[in-house]
């Protein structure tokens, strides 16, 4: 219980999504407790930090959600930096998507939202690009943030500065319900193996790829991805390169983050694999041959939380009092700002715009069941 006698709002998961929502709830004056098993395994620590709704070629409600979040990121980052005193590493570097032909370029889902590049323009944007790429799209509105080294650290400090309480090394094992079915609390296991109960009326599930382990009906499954980083010359690469199967994200100090494999068959199997690392090296050689000679700095892997349509699960969950912020797949960093804004408004019963409410409904957790029912009846 808090000093006021009210139970805290619980955030189940201490990754990027959990920290972002905890921060916004604390900014609304709420008492917040974050329960995290192992924050270092969260997707927010292993992602490349691209802010790329256009370069990703998103479409439909997911594109609209991504664009809405992209526009709110500068204000969101400003709040985090003000509360933490740390930089988040936000860069409006622009992203180039290379193609092997103009026809491929023009067929891209978001081609109308980017600047078309011919071969000479492409090379001016990306000196040293592999010879097989002859056309491109430049999305100057897209960018990146240094999530791995800066954003996560800044969010942690911002949360602490606003009084967010952390239970690190604790795993939520069960949700408790009152006789009427509403959420009443959680049962967790501490790092020492002890079981504890925490009373709550509201909680938000931010457990990423592990969400289904707590709520089996949620259609969330892991998609493993392997990544690496290279140390290149400072300013050699000024734009993010978003190639098919491989992307290269340059930081200000010359570090280049390279990703990522897509391995749904791996499920939760940890570790690097020779095939995965070879795939990344082949992608580097194809996109930027010179970078094949740059020294590798780090190699890692993580698990993206995916849904059948690759869109997140947002809003009310299957239990009254339980909210969802999971299933963001490869767009978690991009969508953290809008997710945190919407969930904090909903959980504090603050009015949302009608347009936001309508868009939020497109990401209900049970949207797949509804499609199945409609298909069966038609």
- At 376 the pLDDT is 34
At CA 29, angle to CA 27 and CA 33, rounded to 5? 85
Q: Distance between CA 114 and CA 150 in Å, rounded?
A: 29
Could you tell me if 226 and 238 are in contact, meaning their C-beta atoms sit under 8 angstroms apart? no
Specify the residue for token string 């409006």.
92
Asked if the model's pLDDT at residue 271 lies above 90, the reply is: yes
156: number of CA atoms within 13 Å, CB side?
18
- At 377 the pLDDT is 31
Alpha helices in 28-111 (DSSP H): 43-46, 60-84, 102-106
E strands in 149-194: 165-168, 171-177, 183-189
Asked if the model's pLDDT at residue 370 lies above 90, the reply is: no
Mean pLDDT value across residues 215-224: 96
Specify the residue for token string 């509804």.
370
Specify the residue for token string 């003000």.
82
- At 235 the pLDDT is 87
Q: pLDDT band at residue 349, thresholds of 50, 70 and 90?
A: confident
CA dihedral 355, 358, 360, 361 (to 10 degrees): 180
> What domains are defined for the chain?
9-85+148-220+309-377 (3.50.50.60), 91-144+222-303 (3.30.9.10)
Which region among 63-67, 229-233, 316-320, 370-374 has the lowest average model confidence (pLDDT)?
370-374
**pLDDT tens profile 173-191:** 999 999 999 999 999 999 8
CA dihedral 15, 186, 7, 165 (to 10 degrees): -30
Asked if the model's pLDDT at residue 4 lies above 70, the reply is: no
Specify the residue for token string 């009443």.
184
Specify the residue for token string 């340059």.
250
Asked if the model's pLDDT at residue 107 lies above 50, the reply is: yes
**pLDDT tens profile 121-155:** 999 999 999 999 999 999 999 999 999 999 999 99
Q: Distance between CA 23 and CA 5 in Å, rounded?
A: 21
In this structure, what DSSP letter does residue 297 have? E
**pLDDT tens profile 225-252:** 999 999 999 989 999 999 999 999 999 9
The two tokens of residue 98 are 């290379």
- At 253 the pLDDT is 92
Which residue, 198, 208, 152, is CA-closest to 173? 198
The two tokens of residue 341 are 């804004």
**pLDDT tens profile 56-96:** 999 999 999 999 999 999 999 999 999 999 999 999 999 99
Asked if the model's pLDDT at residue 374 lies above 80, the reply is: no
**pLDDT tens profile 10-45:** 999 999 999 999 999 999 999 999 999 876 666 667
- At 372 the pLDDT is 41
- At 275 the pLDDT is 97
Query: To the nearest whole number, what is the mean pLDDT of the chain?
Result: 93
- At 351 the pLDDT is 86
């Amino acid at each position: 219980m808090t000093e006021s006698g009210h139970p805290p709002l619980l955030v189940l998961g201490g990754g990027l999504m959990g920290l972002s929502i905890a921060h916004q709830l604390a900014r609304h004056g709420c008492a917040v407790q974050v329960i995290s098993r192992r924050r270092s395994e969260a997707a927010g620590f292993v992602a490349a930090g691209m802010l790329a709704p256009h370069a990703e070629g998103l479409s439909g409600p997911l594109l609209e959600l991504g664009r809405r979040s992209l526009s709110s990121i500068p204000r969101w980052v400003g709040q985090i930096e003000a509360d933490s005193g740390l930089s988040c590493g936000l860069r409006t570097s622009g992203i180039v998507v290379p193609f092997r032909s103009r026809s491929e370029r023009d067929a891209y889902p978001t081609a109308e939202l980017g600047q078309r590049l011919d071969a000479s323009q492409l090379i001016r944007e990306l000196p040293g690009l592999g010879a097989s790429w002859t056309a491109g799209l430049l999305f100057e509105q897209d960018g990146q943030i240094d999530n791995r080294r800066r954003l996560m650290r800044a969010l942690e400090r911002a949360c602490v500065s606003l009084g967010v309480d952390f239970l690190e090394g604790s795993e939520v094992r069960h949700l408790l319900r009152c006789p009427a079915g509403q959420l009443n609390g959680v049962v967790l296991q501490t790092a020492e193996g002890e079981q504890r109960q925490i009373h709550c009326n509201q909680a938000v599930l931010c457990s990423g790829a592990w969400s289904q382990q707590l709520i089996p009906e949620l259609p969330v499954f892991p998609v493993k991805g392997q990544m690496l980083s290279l140390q290149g010359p400072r300013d050699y690469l000024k734009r993010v390169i978003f190639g098919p199967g491989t992307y290269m994200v340059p930081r200000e100090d010359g570090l280049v983050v390279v990703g990522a494999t897509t391995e749904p068959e791996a499920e939760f199997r940890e570790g690097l694999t020779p095939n995965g690392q070879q795939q990344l090296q082949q992608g580097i050689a194809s996109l930027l041959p010179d970078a094949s000679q740059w020294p590798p700095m780090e190699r890692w892997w993580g698990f993206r939380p995916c849904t059948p349509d690759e869109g997140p699960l947002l809003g009310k969950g299957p239990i009254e009092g339980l909210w969802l912020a999971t299933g963001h797949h490869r767009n978690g960093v991009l969508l953290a700002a809008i997710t945190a804004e919407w969930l904090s408004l909903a959980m504090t019963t603050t009015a949302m715009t009608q347009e936001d409410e309508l868009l939020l409904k497109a990401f209900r957790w049970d949207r797949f069941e509804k499609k199945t029912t409609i298909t069966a009846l038609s």
